[in-house]
Amino acid sequence: MITETGEIVEVFFTPSRFSDMRGLRCYRFDLPEGSTIYADKVSYCDYGVEDALQAAGITLKPVRKKNSRCQYPPWEVYLQQATRKRVEVSISLIEQLLPKSIHALSARDFELKVLLFVIATSIKQLFE
């Protein structure tokens, strides 16, 4: 999760056998009431998650497929695209620091190393 300015504030890992949708359902949204989350197509058809978050005062605005029953107005689609671009830039900044391969003896070691690269990216963003 990133802020409006592209600062990385939260990261979580899921097993590869999890779908993105299942990962979204497992995520603990600890956000202030009135927050808006812009998501990619991972949650385009789970209206139940959207409704549950809305009841908690959090708005989830995923990118919709063209044939979705709930479309957004054009100005909101533009805002989603701009926000998603910030997310992609943040991911790209992390990838720039990652080596071609990460040597780890366990899944926990791998997660720790990837998390350290995320933290390094955050620190780098702080000083730029």
Q: Write the DSSP symbol of residue 33.
A: T
CA distance 128 to 64: 34
CA distance 106 to 38: 33
Averaged pLDDT, 14-37: 81
Query: 74-83: buried (b, 16+ CB within 10 Å) or exposed (e) per residue?
Result: eeeeeebeeb
Q: What is the pTM of this model?
A: 0.71
- What are 93-119's pLDDT values in tens digits? 888 888 888 898 998 999 999 999 999
Query: pLDDT averaged over the chain?
Result: 84
**What pLDDT is stored for residue 38 in this prediction?**
82
Averaged pLDDT, 32-36: 87
- What are 47-57's pLDDT values in tens digits? 788 888 888 88
